[in-house]
Amino acid sequence: MTKRHEVNEENDGSMHTSITIRTVRYRECQRNHAASVGGYAVDGCREFMPSGEEGTPGALSCAACGCHRNFHRREVETEVASDCSSPS
């Protein structure tokens, strides 16, 4: 999960702080296992499960199907929370 904080000052002197929170999930595997013979077949893996801890090479391969994380459909959820305050 990635967090990014932004502070913006407007002409009226008020401060706007917004926090963007991005959550990334990897869903079903889309690797075509029959591409070498001209067909189309997926393995049915429904969601990416890392084989190792974050920061290790195993974190990039799926424990369920053995494919690299890039073969799984990436889903990004973005949430923005803002706080508006005026100087006293």
pLDDT at 1: 35
> Rounded to the nearest 10 degrees, how much is the dihedral formed by the CA atoms of 22, 44, 70, 26?
10
What pLDDT is stored for residue 6 in this prediction?
47
Can you give the pLDDT at residue 18? 83
Quote the pLDDT of residue 9.
46
| Mean pLDDT per 10-residue interval, the chain, length 88 residues | 44 70 94 95 93 94 95 93 63
Taking the complete model, does pTM exceed 0.75, yes or no?
A: no
